[in-house]
Amino acid sequence: MSVLVVGSVALDTLTTPAGKVEDTLGGSAVYFGLAAGQLAEVRIVGVVGLDFPSKEKDYLQERNVDVEGLTVGRGPTFRWEGVYGPDFGDAKTIRTELGVFASFEPVLPEKYRKTPYVFLANIDPDLQIKVLDQVENPTWIAMDTMNLWIEHKKEIVLKAMKRVDILLVNASEAKQLSGSTDLFRAGKYILNQGPKYVIIKLGSSGVMLLGGPQPFLLPACPVKKVIDPTGAGDTFAAGLLGYLAGIGGELTFENITKGLCYGSVTASYAIGGFGVQALRTLERSEIDKRLAYYLSTNQLNKVSG
């Protein structure tokens, strides 16, 4: 089954303690598409400029990403430059050039409108609502957001949240949304706004799932060396939602906990290379192999079925 993602497509310049790359393929929709494409078919909606390399568009298609919804605008592709400190914490933004992304208006191709599974990546909540108005009877909708939108457009974020089934946020975003420093209270607040499940990302400490019969905490999948944390959240969402789409999409607590394991594993690949480098040749067999090891070492057999 197909999963639809609406988000950014970018050319990033990234500096981390491991080195630097310039104008490398990036953007939330790209990270999601490359990781989820190994678990389900992905349909992408985004915009690029006339300067976007045609070989990259062809490459996405080769990786099980339908690019009919990737339009070309008159202007440059969205570019972002960020620098990470020694602890690989949040990047310091050096440069943001929106280019054609500044006037992005998501228009879904006709065949995309009935896609059963939808992921609203981290974009302006007004645009997320425009997407919601175009999809037709989806089985479920997942949504991401960020501190910027919560600070400046909280009412619109809440409006979009009322129409989704899963919200993915990090700990600081959950606290900012709810006004509570207690993550359990923050999660309860979010659930009261509409989503059936809230997934709170805890960075290297793993992830918390709320909305099931009890809270579920999952440790992060370890990696030998972190190279670049850019896109970790999007690839985490990709593993989770790609898995759910691949098995038919039913949002049971058991399915989501297994999907979280896939999310942790796909994110672990993303951070092991610059940009999408480690995702370019990633295969399902590699994901499953690392998943088996991850489950066994963390004694997570209860979600390994």
Across the chain, what does the average pLDDT equal? 95
Which residue segment(s) compose the domain that 278 sits in?
Answer: 2-303
pLDDT at site 297: 79
Q: Is the pTM of this model over 0.85?
A: yes
- Among the listed residues 265, 234, 210, the one whose alpha carbon sits nearest the alpha carbon of residue 120: 234
Pairing status of strand 10-16 against strand 19-26: antiparallel
- Alpha-carbon distance of 70 to 305, in angstroms, equals 36
> φ, ψ for residue 300 (rounded to 5)?
-105, 35
What CATH code is carried by the domain that includes residue 199?
Answer: 3.40.1190.20
Which residues are bridge partners to 3 per DSSP? Answer: 42, 117
Q: Can you give the pLDDT at residue 304?
A: 43
| pLDDT of res. 89 | 84
d(C-alpha 139, C-alpha 206), whole Å: 27
Helix (H) or strand (E) segment spanning residue 267: helix 253-270
DSSP summary character for residue 204? G
Which residues of the chain register pLDDT less than 50?
304-305
> How many domains is the chain partitioned into structurally?
1
User: Looking at residue 34, what is its pLDDT?
Assistant: 97
Confidence (pLDDT) at 303: 53
- Among candidate residues 221, 227, 234, 233, the one with its CA nearest the CA of residue 291: 221
Tokens at 296, concatenated:
């066994």
Predicted pLDDT of residue 41: 97
CA distance 276 to 30: 8
